[in-house]
Amino acid sequence: MIAIIDYGMGNLHSVGKAVGRLGYDAVVTADAGEIMKADGAILPGVGAFGDAMQNLRNTGLDQTARDYAASGRPLLGICLGMQLLFAESEEYGRHEGLSLLPGRVVRFRGGYKVPHMGWNRLEFRRPDPIFEGLAEGHVYFVHSFHAKPEHETDLLATTDYYQQVTAIVGRDNVYGMQFHPEKSGELGMSLLGNFLALTASRAKVR
């Protein structure tokens, strides 16, 4: 079973449906016990970083996410969920994140359109099981802030939007995708499927 962590923000059900289309059993839940029993967990998110962290703290799900990551089972952050994995964000002030990955989230700055919205090509930075059998291609982004990992080794894929932009991060069992894989066509669904394949979920349809 795959737990979609429900902290009151995010496209929870579209992610859950995408997981289901890939042949896995998904549950949208805010129950810490249920999350901790899952074979894999996904932290989605749409909205502001500070509000998201406040919701996580209010429900205790911030510690649940940290405990889940410490368990060694696969955890994936999507869009804002990926940004929450980092130590801090400058969105509307300084806000502390989950600190599962060192680095910070900053606003796009320059004389170009913000938010970054649309289809952009991924560049794979280093081999990883999440890229198994896949070629570089385009995925769908919508964001005004972007993550700057402290360590180059945590950067799995980038895209170009007037600069190098973090697209996929990963360290051990913790992964993040800045784009929406469930809205990114065949490549996005394949990346999500490769993440799910890292779990020990027994509900996969064979």
Tokens describing residue 38? 């899952």
- pLDDT given for residue 79 in this prediction: 96
The single residue of 95, 116, 143, 180 carrying the catalytic annotation is 180
Phi, psi of 34 (to 5 degrees): -65, -40
- pLDDT given for residue 11 in this prediction: 75
182 is catalytic: yes
The single residue of 79, 88, 91, 95 carrying the catalytic annotation is 79
What is d(CA 195, CA 201) in angstroms, rounded to the nearest whole number? Answer: 11
- pLDDT given for residue 202 in this prediction: 54
Q: DSSP for 61-128? A: HHHHHHHHHHTTS-EEEETHHHHHTEEEE-TTS-EE---SEEEEEEE--SSS-SSEEEEEE-EE-S--
- pLDDT given for residue 140 in this prediction: 97
Which residue's structure tokens are 């932009």? Answer: 165
Set out the domains of the chain in order of their start, with CATH numbers: 2-197 (3.40.50.880)
Task: Write out the H or E segment, with its range, that includes residue 158.
Answer: strand 155-160
Mean pLDDT by 10 residues, the chain (206 residues): 92 90 95 97 94 96 98 97 98 96 96 94 97 97 97 97 97 97 96 95 51
| Predicted model pTM | 0.95
79 is catalytic: yes
96 is catalytic: no
